[in-house]
A = this chain, B = another copy of it.
Amino acid sequence: MAKKAKTAITPTRTEDYTEWYQQVVRASDLAERSPVRGCMVIRPWGYALWENIVRELDDMFKATGVKNAYFPLFIPLSFLEKEAEHVEGFAKECAVVTHHRLEKGPEGGLVPAGSLNEPLVVRPTSETIIGDSFSKWVSSYRDLPLLINQWANVVRWEMRTRIFLRTSEFLWQEGHTVHATDKDAIERTRLMLDVYAKLAEEYLAIPVIKGTKTPSERFPGALDTLCIEAMMQDRKALQAGTSHFLGQNFAKASDIKFHSAEGTEEYAWTTSWGASTRLIGGLIMTHGDDDGIILPPRVASSHVVIMPIAKKPEDRSKVMEYTETLAKELREKYYHHRRIQVEIDDRDVGGRGWDWIKKGIPVRVEIGPRDIADNSVFIGTRDKEYKDRSSLKRDQFVAEITNILDEIQDTLFQRALTFREKNTIIINDNKQFYEFFTPQNQDKPEIHGGFSLSPWCGSEECESKIKEDLSVTIRCIPFDNEAEKGNCICCGKPDSKQVIFAKAY
């Protein structure tokens, strides 16, 4: 039996994936639990990552004509009641503000006072309050399309929370657009899905499948929900962005009407689309290994850490000077719209390298007196094994840094794509389907299953039977679907279309 390799994170992914996630987040310094139930504190290392994601998304939104705005945190109860399906979807998990003051209570502490006439809900999403503004902003076809995005915090009172994946408060953007025709709105819905797919694949290095949700998985009140789905390393699916075609439902609920070029008054067609800090959870679960998280260079909180090594005090000033000069040169270069960010870790402690591995920084550089004598640097990259480090001439390193980062980015994407392809299979047989999604060890389920491309007849009955039996849902009806039609995996009905089944976050 081979000796088990020592890992920086305990347990490993195969030992206990859920616990591995908690430990890997903790070791990364990305975020931590807060004293407020279900809320997280995003630490500087995690927030820098979010800022980079925000910048890329924001640039892409603006390139399609979208403008940012800001709407109130609070939503009057009466607004939530406007759209029937919508209220059903969100009422169960709202933070409700009922008072606007605190007073000294009889026992000395503070108690709520100043009861509100109409309670306010902390926004779980802003369709209704934004709809109210839109009804005033839109009056003519000349005002359309109206393309608005908001960066904000939202609250959904989740009972079981996990940092980044499901928290009571999270950060997100929500785009809301208004159009004169259903065609324009449908095109916009698809365009924004493409933006999310580009972010996921080109920046987060997460391969995604684009598709349509089934009616039961749609956003409450939407006519159609498009999504991108990614496979995590436990082979479960994570929805990494959604774009909704809302038809005229929200326009009718919020009274968004316009005078057409022909002089008639029409209800408008709207869309909404969002992505959140959940993406960071997806990034961790796609790329992380048993030594910690791995940050894709294009969105990494920082690119390079330099660790000067000066065991003898007399070496210190020389080593630090070499370090500072190298950092300065690197910082003058650009990598994908931003300057290369360099950390200098000159702490006099053991295990510095492992600290940075756990934080997922793409490139680690060690510099000691011998490297200086040789005019070189000693490099490790996060996509490779710890032992797989090598010496490089200093000038070559500076000249090649953007290529080194691009290589890491590519490796991460290819590795994730290979993993997904390996764990995506076409299943047409009901027995095989049930076996695929059933763990061999029921007591302590091993990582199993994956994406199954299987025929589905379109009935909600079959969909919910599979959900009840296996906790497996239809992640999407993929756009790119060249698979042949077959017999429904559940009821056997012929001529059924292939869809993606998986367990999901």
Contact = CB atoms under 8 A, between A and B. Distances in A.
B47 A68 contact: yes
Interface string A165-209: 000010100000000000000000000000000000000000000
Given A77-B102, A94-B100, A100-B96, A39 B72 contact: yes
A343 B474 CA distance: 45
Interface in A227-247: none
Contacts of A35: 76, 79, 129, 132
A460 interface: no
Given A81-B110, A98-B99, A109-B77, A47 B69 contact: yes
A372 interface: no
A333 to B, nearest CB: 18
A401 B54 CA distance: 31
The size bracket of the interface on A is: 35 or more
Given A67-B48, A81-B110, A112-B119, A72 B40 contact: yes
B72 A169 contact: yes
Contacts of A114: 157
A401 to B, nearest CB: 21
A316 to B, nearest CB: 17
Contacts of A77: 102, 109-110
Interface stretch (A85-93, A282-290, A384-392, A422-430): A85-93
Interface string A90-129: 0111111111111100000111101000011110000001
Contacts of A101: 91-94, 96, 157
A73 interface: yes
A51 interface: yes
A280 B142 CA distance: 29
A22 interface: no
A189 to B, nearest CB: 21
A41 B101 CA distance: 23
A275 to B, nearest CB: 16
Contacts of A109: 77-78, 81
Nearest to A58: B51
A133 B79 CA distance: 36
A129 B94 CA distance: 22
Contacts of A43: 69
A87 B67 contact: no
A75 B112 contact: no
A361 interface: no
B73 A39 contact: yes
A418 to B, nearest CB: 34
A193 to B, nearest CB: 23
Contacts of A75: 36
16 contacts: A32-B136, A35-B79, A42-B69, A46-B69, A51-B68, A72-B169, A74-B95, A91-B110, A92-B102, A94-B100, A95-B120, A97-B97, A98-B99, A100-B157, A112-B119, A122-B122
